[in-house]
Chains A and B, each alone.
Chain A
């Protein structure tokens, strides 16, 4: 399936917005954390795992999905959430722990839930694998359409949940796509130090799933692979392990000095090459590309203004939502 010029501009727009989100959050993150760094200080407390470098994966995959499809993401969810169209204002407010946040301040940046676009994330590695497969099973039982996509990292492919779920996806031919975002690093552990095979996509053969491997961090290529996987899933042909060689430009989390990464393994920012490619291929002009980036920053500035102006929850609200059907 060939992407139209408009769709490719859309991919750049999505990536630019995701980058603007992370850049704005990174700038805010350092407030109150200098000169002495501590997770809990400042207006954006806690760990922050940014998506810089992985934007093509979120953009390319989500562009191949429809509104009925379902997504789970992991501890690094921003690029997927932005690409899926999760409410940007409320997501920004959630990161700041504010009352109008998606979870009213109970989730934070690793736990992003927006049921209006079938999006959920979890901070536990590979946990979303089973949740996505269960959502696909639910749709089958409900006789409703829908493909489930679990976004995980290459490190998660060594979790037991990955293997248990892949086996059941293959066994029951569930419409599940496992997107393995290979950014090479599980915190400080390189893929070569943790994974017995070079490509996790090869593991698909062991689970009667299809394997797709994309070696470029380019949303066009990622989208093409995703479109094939989605078509197979919708046709009842089962699941795919779709691995993408992507990047992690700002470390495992903010404050990670990444001294463990040797010079020759430094990663490339995927957005400028895609922008140049679109200009080179006549999809847009440099001015149009500048405008896309400026609009992304402006949109994010509005989200950040909303988040900053929003009130905090009351301390007593900590006791709400432990159980459904009780105190709201």
Chain B
């Protein structure tokens, strides 16, 4: 059986299934016990599993995420809710130097299996400290896996995969895609038929959302859905766009990206993270290093520019990589 679910409900189902069967899994974070985490991934878990396994913490991210790493080293699999990725500033050492490097620095003798759930992104007027994506900032750390589902089916399957992984997995969800009430009506393309039974979606494989001939548009999180909107518009104008969801940054499916560009010869990389030193450059380099001859036209980036996210609606809407900007970039590429 399957039903249509939001990403939030789908992810919750995976975590619930694993927690029922595996005593080493426990939840840790601000407001997880009463609130079920900011995206509802642990909704109702406080009542079901009790305060021992669903631990609401003080506002002490360095402390409790570091404790999660220690618990993982001692045989547990913590699932930590860090709410917004903007807050990595107050716990970055744990990500950078501890959870990601202990397995390597111990020559493989110590494992750190933990899953860190983080919400990303803007588009709802929350200004520069609550709207960032910063996925490149975490994907840059060797030793951390970074995944980023954009729909309910992947949210469930990839969370099962994360919870069975022996490594530190940073599990990102764009706030606008999660389907939680306070973000308004869920975006249709984030909803999917989700099987009742557990299943895994492997890390490191792109998902081709929509096949096309003329231009490849890669996306991540929310920008997948903006790309799909743009592709619909472009279709009416006779431009056939292929929308590729990267969905996993570490590992990154470089072959999947190259295969699509080899077919279309044109590449638009959409990314809600900042323009410079990030995923968009990495995607283009991936193709260029293999064969710059694959590009019939120079590749294009549609991202958030290198500015703090502005608060006011007209400014924010103008700088995000929304469908209008993506479609415009495609038209220019095809001209």
Contact = CB atoms under 8 A, between A and B. Distances in A.
B70 A133 contact: yes
B67 A137 contact: yes
A111 B105 contact: yes
Contacts of A134: 66-74, 78
Contacts of A123: 97
Interface string B76-97: 1010000000000000011001
A139 interface: yes
Contact of A127 (B66, B110, B145): B66
A131 interface: yes
A251 interface: no
Interface stretch (A160-168, A238-246, A282-290, A293-301): A160-168
Contact of B75 (A113, A114, A138, A160): A138
A142 to B, nearest CB: 7
A43 interface: no
A271 interface: no
A124 B97 contact: yes
B105 A130 contact: no
Given A115-B110, A127-B97, A324-B167, A106 B75 contact: no
Range class of the B interface residue count:
35 or more
A141 B63 contact: no
A129 B110 contact: no
Interface in A88-121: 101-107, 111, 113-115, 120
B196 interface: no
B67 A130 contact: yes
B248 to A, nearest CB: 13
Given A103-B109, A160-B62, A328-B108, A135 B71 contact: yes
A325 B57 CA distance: 31
B307 to A, nearest CB: 29
Contacts of A105: 107
A324 B111 CA distance: 7
B53 interface: yes
A165 B67 contact: yes
Interface in B134-179: 142-143, 145, 165-167
Contacts of A260: none
B60 A168 contact: yes
* Most chain B beta carbons < 10 A, residue from A102, A103, A139, A171: A103
B45 interface: no
A325 to B, nearest CB: 5
Nearest to A142: B75
Interface in A309-328: 320-325, 328
A70 interface: yes
A148 B60 CA distance: 20
B58 interface: yes
A124 B93 contact: yes
B107 A102 contact: yes
B106 interface: yes
A127 B98 contact: yes
A321 B109 CA distance: 9
B74 to A, nearest CB: 4
Nearest to A131: B70
Contacts of A168: 57-58, 60, 63-64, 67
Interface string A139-177: 101100000100000000000110011011001000000
B252 to A, nearest CB: 14
B5 to A, nearest CB: 29
A104 B26 CA distance: 32
Nearest to B65: A130
Contacts of B108: 104, 320-321, 324, 328
Which 7 A/B pairs are nearest by Cβ-Cβ distance?
A: A134-B70, A130-B66, A164-B63, A134-B67, A131-B70, A103-B107, A138-B74
Given A104-B107, A161-B93, A168-B60, 9 more contacts: A129-B66, A130-B65, A134-B67, A134-B68, A135-B74, A137-B71, A165-B67, A168-B63, A323-B103
15 contacts: A106-B105, A120-B73, A127-B94, A130-B66, A131-B69, A141-B71, A142-B23, A142-B74, A164-B60, A165-B63, A168-B64, A323-B145, A323-B166, A324-B167, A328-B108
